Amino acid sequence: MQFKLFSKDMIDLVRPYLATSDTLAYEYQASYLLLWREVEDIHIAMEDDTLLIQQRASGSYLMPMGKDPRHGVDLLVEHAKEAGRPLVFASVPKEHAGIFDERFIVEDDRDDWDYIYRTEALDKLAGRRYQAKRNHISHFERDEAGYEVVELTQDMKAECLEMDAYWAQKHQTFSKAVTEERMAIEKAFDHFNELGLIGIGIRCKGELAAFTIGEIINGGKEAVIHFEKGDTSHVGIYARINQLFVHDHLQGTEYVNRQEDMGLEGLRKAKLSYHPDLMQEKVKAWLK
């Protein structure tokens, strides 16, 4: 079994297999494999008409994809035994946990669950439960009169990376996760058009104050927000860019996937404040 580092030349090869995953989970998209290739050290192998995805940085595999995912699990069990290495699966949609038999320990991974929202709810922000969001937007509209909304292009890479660095400096956040996210943002701009990414930015008094990058996936049913950054000195900027992006670019989709919270309390609180319609539950599995 030969694993090769994932590259953009493999996108067309993997997409038919990824389509068989039948899940709202973010990880089963070609964009995830490419944007996080260096961070996760993503390698793939094709074996018996099955796609196998290895995340070497974390020592885990994604769910095998093809006509028989259980066969993919068996292939990796044998591969692990031959190599004398442990076998761990991560980010496996819970509805597919049945691919693991009694050889495995399977556990929920709450920190990895994706937050899924109805597109219409994020657009309209209707009802009492969204009152605070509407107030934030009103505050932003009042204080930032004359702000400009711009479409993101590859040419805005340097400007967005500068804004991301400013965000990290302001929040005194220099963690490994922040550095890794910046690497993925760079990849997003490098492959913006070929991945079909879309995004907008907000400029306040001529300075970029927020940007978001997303993608429409799963045949137009779902959108995913890859990255979203904003300068919170502009009160309400996150609520405004979120609603603007949904309203202007995500119409026609049913769901918006805003990814997981990684177990971070502040991020979990922020994602819950938008009242997810459902959670894409995921599990981890270990070979006993």
Task: Tell me the per-residue pLDDT of 213-260, one tens digit each, with 9 for 90 and over.
Answer: 999 999 999 999 999 999 999 999 999 999 999 999 999 999 999 999
Q: What is the pLDDT of residues 3-18, one digit of tens each?
A: 999 999 999 999 999 9
Q: Please check whether residue 288 lies inside any domain of the structure.
A: no
User: What is the per-residue pLDDT for 174?
Assistant: 64
Under the banding of pLDDT at 50, 70 and 90, the label for residue 81 is very high
Q: Would the pTM count as exceeding 0.75? A: yes
CATH number for the domain spanning 61: value is: 3.40.630.30
Q: Please check whether residue 287 lies inside any domain of the structure.
A: no
User: 3-state DSSP: the chain helix, strand, coil percent, rounded to 5?
Assistant: 45, 25, 30
Q: Please check whether residue 68 lies inside any domain of the structure.
A: yes
Count of domains for the chain: 2
Regarding whether 130 and 105 lie in a shared domain, the answer is no
Which H or E run contains 245? helix 237-249
Distance, CA of 280 to CA of 288 (rounded, Å): 26
Question: What is the overall mean pLDDT for the chain?
Answer: 95
Q: Please check whether residue 54 lies inside any domain of the structure.
A: yes
Q: How many residues does the chain have?
A: 288
Q: What is the pLDDT of residues 34-65, one digit of tens each?
A: 999 999 999 999 999 999 999 999 999 999 99
Whose structure tokens read 């934030």? Answer: 136
Regarding whether 241 and 138 lie in a shared domain, the answer is yes
| Exposed/middle/buried for residue 149 (C-beta within 10 Å: 0-12, 13-18, 19+) | middle
User: What is the per-residue pLDDT for 185?
Assistant: 96
User: What is the per-residue pLDDT for 173?
Assistant: 66
Regarding whether 164 and 241 lie in a shared domain, the answer is yes
Under the banding of pLDDT at 50, 70 and 90, the label for residue 111 is very high
Mean pLDDT within 138-146: 95
Distance, CA of 157 to CA of 208 (rounded, Å): 12
| Exposed/middle/buried for residue 158 (C-beta within 10 Å: 0-12, 13-18, 19+) | exposed
Q: What is the pLDDT of residues 168-181, one digit of tens each?
A: 887 666 678 888 99
User: What is the per-residue pLDDT for 147?
Assistant: 97
The tokens for 209 are: 């104050």
User: What is the per-residue pLDDT for 89?
Assistant: 98
Regarding whether 238 and 127 lie in a shared domain, the answer is yes
The amino acid sitting at 137 is: I
Residue 107 has pLDDT above 80, yes or no: yes
Backbone phi and psi for residue 109, each to the nearest 5 degrees, phi listed first: -125, 80
Pairing outcome for strands 65-66 and 207-217: unpaired
Parent domain of 174: 115-259
The tokens for 190 are: 């490098």
User: What is the per-residue pLDDT for 151?
Assistant: 97
Among 83, 112, 141, which residue terminates a domain?
112
Regarding whether 100 and 125 lie in a shared domain, the answer is no
Q: Please check whether residue 185 lies inside any domain of the structure.
A: yes
Q: Please check whether residue 56 lies inside any domain of the structure.
A: yes
Comparing CA positions, the residue from 116, 83, 117, 88 lying closest to residue 103 is: 88
